[in-house]
Amino acid sequence: MIFKILFRNAFRHKLRTFLTVCGMAIAILAFGLLRTVIDAWYAGVEASSANRLVTRNAISLVFRLPLSYRDTIRRIEGVEIVSHGNWFGGYYIDEKDFFANFAVEPRSYLELYPEYVIPDDQRVKFLKDRKGCLAGKKIAERFGWSVGDTVTLTGTIFPGKWDFLVCAIYEGRDKNIDETLFFFHWDYLNESLKKNKPVSPDYVGFYIIGIENPYIAARTAEAIDRTFKNSLAETLTETEKAFQTGFVTMSEAILKAIQLVSFVVIFIILVVVANTMGMSVRERIGEYAVFKTLGFRAWQITLLIIGESMVITCFGGVTGILLTFPAAKGFSMAVDKFFPVFNITWETMYLDMAVTVIVGLAAGIFPASRAVTVRIAEGSGGLDR
């Protein structure tokens, strides 16, 4: 009987309930999208491996390191594999068509990144062709590339027109793998530099190092940096996660602002739902007085009011969660240049659910306390009016 009354009360004023449900749905939708934006910002950090280290110039990433460091790093205890690369910084057709592109040592690099799934025949072709390139699935779809196409990038750091043959297209093993990257042979870049010499050859931008296990990461990083201490190009070695986090912290103020806005949205909808419940209780205060005279206990009346609040917020919350998926898909298509990985995580879903429950409980507590403490005579007077 209590649950029957509860549902009838929740939908007694259909327009008010509908508007409150819509407000709750929009709030949960906004909250979910904002949390997904934050997750997208940290996608590179989450995709990092604990078994990989990154070594760069201690001054800045823009300063390069000698290629001769590679063999020295290989001999350091705990190091299993070493690869190297350069940030290329080229663009396709127009500067607006920019995407991340790297010159890497392909065989060792792909060995370090098994999360890049490549068909075997395409992998072999890419490794053999010096002018071959490997493109992510999303970037290939964006520009309409397919295996066998010729792609020309315009260099910014390394001036000129650079032609590449699309030999392979990779997909991410997991949802959080960036599929908008572009890789080509470091030897192709280095040999061209030796011919033209706009930039000194035999230098790399970074080393990617595979270690035996993550427990020796700090010790191995310290050993690498100690080896090159007081050299002409001192190094800074850190875990891949720390390296990626360094880029994210540059936008820390923006991330905090987004987090603040997401909680402000929830506070606003809490006030809206609490106001709705407050109006409902005031209108039915006489009814609750009658319930008391019929023998309803305080906990039963509390259950009625908080239950009504939960019904309204849950309807809105579930609607908002369901709407988040198509909204996130549309949003990701609009901002794929900035957020190559834009997926709704289970953590965001659980957070949406938790927020829905918290809002429902918090919005019903104060009206329930009013209804429970009101005297029967006072409540009956409200019914007469």
Confidence at residue 199, expressed as pLDDT on a 0 to 100 scale: 61
Instruction: Count CA atoms within 13 Å of residue 95 on its CB side.
Output: 1
Please choose, from the candidates 151, 167, 42, 41, the residue with its C-alpha nearest in 3D space to the C-alpha of residue 88: 151
Confidence at residue 298, expressed as pLDDT on a 0 to 100 scale: 75
Confidence at residue 15, expressed as pLDDT on a 0 to 100 scale: 81
Please choose, from the candidates 196, 205, 241, the residue with its C-alpha nearest in 3D space to the C-alpha of residue 89: 205
Q: Which residues pair with 151 in a beta bridge?
A: 164
Instruction: Count CA atoms within 13 Å of residue 24 on its CB side.
Output: 32
d(Cα 83, Cα 280) in Å, to the nearest integer?
A: 67
Amino acid identity of residue 187, one-letter, is D
Residues 6+ apart with CB under 8 A from 32: 320, 321, 324, 328, 344, 348, 349, 352
Q: Could you list the pLDDT tens digit for every one of the 385 residues in the chain?
A: 566 666 676 677 778 788 888 888 888 888 888 888 888 777 777 777 889 999 999 998 889 999 999 999 999 999 999 999 999 989 998 888 788 999 999 999 999 999 999 999 999 999 999 999 999 999 999 899 999 999 999 988 888 899 999 999 999 988 888 899 999 999 999 988 887 765 667 899 999 999 988 899 999 999 999 999 988 899 999 999 888 887 677 666 777 888 888 888 888 888 888 777 777 777 666 666 666 676 777 777 777 788 888 888 888 889 999 998 888 888 777 666 667 777 888 888 898 899 888 888 888 887 777 777 766 655 555 444 4
DSSP string of 232-262, one letter each residue: SS-EEEEEHHHHHHHHHGGGHHHHHHHHHHH
DSSP string of 292-343, one letter each residue: HHTT--HHHHHHHHHHHHHHHHHHHHHHHHHHHHHHHHHHHHHSTTT-S---
- The ranges assigned to domains in the chain are 2-43+251-384, 59-233
d(Cα 58, Cα 60) in Å, to the nearest integer?
A: 6
Asked if residue 180 lies in contact with residue 332, where contact means CB atoms within 8 angstroms, the answer is no
Please choose, from the candidates 40, 45, 109, the residue with its C-alpha nearest in 3D space to the C-alpha of residue 242: 45
Residues 6+ apart with CB under 8 A from 242: none
Please choose, from the candidates 29, 20, 26, the residue with its C-alpha nearest in 3D space to the C-alpha of residue 310: 20
Q: Which residues pair with 132 in a beta bridge?
A: 165
Please choose, from the candidates 99, 104, 79, 76, the residue with its C-alpha nearest in 3D space to the C-alpha of residue 89: 99
Confidence at residue 156, expressed as pLDDT on a 0 to 100 scale: 87
* pTM: predicted TM-score of the whole model, two decimal places: 0.76
Asked if residue 308 lies in contact with residue 10, where contact means CB atoms within 8 angstroms, the answer is yes
Please choose, from the candidates 141, 145, 184, 146, the residue with its C-alpha nearest in 3D space to the C-alpha of residue 164: 184
Asked if residue 200 lies in contact with residue 66, where contact means CB atoms within 8 angstroms, the answer is no
Pairing of strands 203-204, 65-66: antiparallel
DSSP string of 119-185, one letter each residue: -HHHHHHHHH-TTEEEEEHHHHHHHT--TT-EEEEEETTTTEEEEEEEEEEEEESSTTS----EEEE
Amino acid identity of residue 373, one-letter, is T
Kindly report the backbone phi and psi dihedral angles of residue 281, in degrees, each rounded to the nearest multiple of 5, phi listed first: -70, -40
Confidence at residue 271, expressed as pLDDT on a 0 to 100 scale: 83
